[in-house]
Amino acid sequence: MHAHTTPDEGTRRDQTHATETAARETLLSLRDAATALGLRPATVKQYILRGQLAAVRLPHGHATRLYVAPAELECYRRASLGAQGWAKRRGPVPPAITDVSRSR
């Protein structure tokens, strides 16, 4: 059996498609966001799944894709990027200890 669609349903479907297309033009794909941050797409996806970076899931064919707003990307860049890694966590390096017995 085929489902019958009313004219309103067809129009609604076209409007939804137009809205999704407009959103994709203003949002960055996962790959583009990763390139902008200088990271790998898998790393950006981990940040999204952890809630460190906000993203929108939009349909793409039979699947969905993640998209990031440029403003969200800039906010994340200012807040988190460059503030990670061992060099940032370990604090100041203590001065070198000199051997007193050798100096005599």
What's the average pLDDT block by block, 10 residues per block, for the chain (104 residues)? 53 54 75 92 93 88 88 86 63 64 56
Question: pLDDT value at position 16?
Answer: 54
Question: pLDDT value at position 70?
Answer: 92
pTM higher than 0.85 for the full model? no
The token pair at 67 is: 């998209």
Alpha-carbon distances of 31 from 4, 17, 22, 28, 68, rounded to whole Å: 39, 22, 18, 8, 10
Separation between Cα atoms, residue 99 and residue 54, nearest integer Å? 53
Question: pLDDT value at position 69?
Answer: 92
Separation between Cα atoms, residue 88 and residue 80, nearest integer Å? 11
Question: pLDDT value at position 59?
Answer: 84
The token pair at 60 is: 């793409």
Separation between Cα atoms, residue 40 and residue 42, nearest integer Å? 5
Question: pLDDT value at position 86?
Answer: 61
Task: Classify each residue of 52-72 as buried b or exposed e, where b means 16 or more C-beta atoms within 10 Å of its C-beta.
Answer: ebebeeeeeeeeebbbbbeeb
